[in-house]
């Protein structure tokens, strides 16, 4: 089962995603894609780590999340977050379309419980620079593909979940 959770910055999506995954048996695997580029990001990572209690096993993997998923038995996994992963792919000049397709194929083959978090970035103004526009475009493509294969899709607004898709 894939549950895709999308929302704006500080919308409560990570906290909601953690609660969703905790409905399944431990251990819960937390696949962190963020890199601690600065003090603000280091603080955010620390806050997320402190919020999660016992039962969580955290893996940090900024690029090769499909490979990580392929290597692990079907324990419940939370991926947080796809936008940080996309940022890492762009910064490392990876083949983004290939990585997105690989992730989608890997998710479709996964037999465990999967909760995936991402930031919605396409509801604002058109970015002024080419790199930001490319990021927004890749994000839109990625989100559409993940939403299409997800069994459940929830949009978070101000801490409240809006179910967009449910196959239950």
Residues forming the active site: 48
Query: Coil, strand or helix: which one is 59?
Result: strand
10 is in an annotated binding site: yes
166 is in an annotated binding site: no
* CB of 118 closer than 8 Å to CB of 80: no
Q: Could you write out the DSSP letters of every residue in 132-149?
A: HHHHHHHHHHHHHHHHHH
112 is in an annotated binding site: no
19 is in an annotated binding site: no
14 is in an annotated binding site: yes
9 is in an annotated binding site: yes
Helix 82-91 crosses helix 96-109 at what angle (to 10 degrees)? 140
Nearest CA to 44 out of 11, 91, 94, 10 is that of: 10
58 is in an annotated binding site: no
33 is in an annotated binding site: yes
The C-alpha atoms of residue 14 and residue 11 are separated, in whole angstroms, by 8
Angle 142-154-12 (CA atoms, 0-180°, nearest 5)?
100
13 is in an annotated binding site: yes
- Binding-site annotation: residue ranges for GTP: 7-14, 32-34, 60, 80
- Binding-site annotation: residue ranges: 7-14, 32-34, 60, 80
């Amino acid at each position: 089962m894939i549950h895709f959770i999308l929302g704006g910055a500080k919308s409560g999506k990570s906290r909601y995603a953690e609660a969703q995954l905790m409905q399944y048996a431990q251990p819960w695997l937390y696949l962190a894609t963020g890199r601690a580029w600065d003090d603000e990001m280091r603080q955010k990572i620390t806050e997320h780590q402190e919020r999660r209690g016992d039962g969580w096993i955290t893996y940090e993997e900024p690029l090769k999340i499909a490979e990580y998923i392929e290597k692990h038995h079907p324990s419940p996994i939370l991926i947080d977050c796809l936008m940080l992963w996309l940022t890492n792919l762009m910064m490392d000049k990876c083949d983004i379309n290939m990585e997105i397709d690989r992730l989608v194929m890997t998710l479709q083959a996964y037999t465990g419980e999967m909760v995936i978090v991402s930031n919605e970035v396409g509801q604002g103004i058109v970015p002024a620079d080419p790199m930001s526009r490319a990021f927004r475009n890749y994000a839109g493509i990625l989100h559409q593909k993940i939403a299409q294969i997800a069994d459940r899709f929830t949009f978070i607004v101000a801490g409240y979940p809006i179910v967009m898709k449910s196959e239950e």
